[in-house]
Amino acid sequence: MPKELIKPYENQPGTRKEQVTRMFNAIADKYDFLNHFLSFNTDVRWRRKLVKTVKRLNASSGIPMTDVSILDMATGTGDMAFALSGLNPGSITGIDISEEMLKVAVRKSEQKAKSNIVFQLGDSEAINFEDEHFDFVTVAFGVRNYEDLGKGISEMHRVLKKGGSLLILEFSQPSGFMGFAYSFYSKRILPLMARIFSADPRAYQYLPESIYAFPFGEKMCRILLDAGFKSSTYKKLSGGIASLYVSEK
């Protein structure tokens, strides 16, 4: 579990979930621009890695991709769902607690004419689908914001079919010189740029705080195994700035 429950607005009322919802509602319109700009578009490459992994895992299952159903948790403005749509699965459902982020996702979906993606408001800790409903569950940079990580992972495990896979893309903590450089960037440069471009710069102060409070690597794999997954592995991306976790039910 996270070392401490970091809230976006420590001195303001509301649960972590309520504050996270408020934060993403506030930055929804500029989220895509800031995400790509502040990560130098590296987040796009990380998502492609997840998509390639889904393609490889599905090829080994023997199930036609057109019969595959995918749940994308904490979908935000839909970037992960849109990346996955390139595989032409049977269906993709994107769920998020932020209504404003979903409005952006729906607008983008209409522009892209994506008919196999459905976006809906939903809680990661109480997923509104029956047991063993999806072949894959994905979440990109979202589990770090769960109020109850264990409950969220258990819910994703519940809605996965037996033999299905959960893929989590999340920030981690690089070591050595990369760790020093990333720490300087995330704690100094990123908040400064956010103050210039964002209506809610506190959101980009919360980002590094939440990263350093969140478990990663083997600790995260242990949490996934404890939730009932039969296997869990991870791969460091960009020197450990992010990690891709793959867990099989």
pLDDT in tens, 97-111: 999 999 999 999 999
The CATH number that applies at residue 149 is 3.40.50.150
Q: Is 161 exposed, middle or buried (0-12, 13-18, 19+ CB in 10 A)?
A: middle
Within a domain: residue 237? yes
Cα of first residue to Cα of last residue in the chain, in angstroms, is 20
Q: How far apart are CA 42 and CA 45, in angstroms?
A: 5
Within a domain: residue 8? no
Average pLDDT over residues 79-95: 97
- Residue 30 neighbours by CB under 8 Å, 6+ apart: 197, 198, 199
Within a domain: residue 89? yes
Within a domain: residue 3? no
Instruction: Output the pLDDT for position 3.
Output: 46
User: Within 10 A of 39 (CB to CB), how many other CB atoms are there?
Assistant: 17
Average pLDDT over residues 164-193: 86
Within a domain: residue 62? yes
The residue type found at 193 is M
For residue 187, the 8-state DSSP code is I
Q: Is 27 exposed, middle or buried (0-12, 13-18, 19+ CB in 10 A)?
A: buried
- What residue ranges in 20-106 does DSSP mark as E strands? 69-73, 91-96
Within a domain: residue 9? no
Laid out side by side, the sheet with 69-73 consists of: 117-121, 91-96, 69-73, 134-140, 160-171, 242-248, 231-237
Higher pLDDT, 190 or 154: 154
With a pLDDT cut of 90, the percent of the chain lying above it is 69
Structural domain total, the chain? 1
Within a domain: residue 241? yes
Within a domain: residue 4? no
Instruction: Output the pLDDT for position 136.
Output: 98
The residue type found at 52 is K
Domain range for 169 is: 16-248
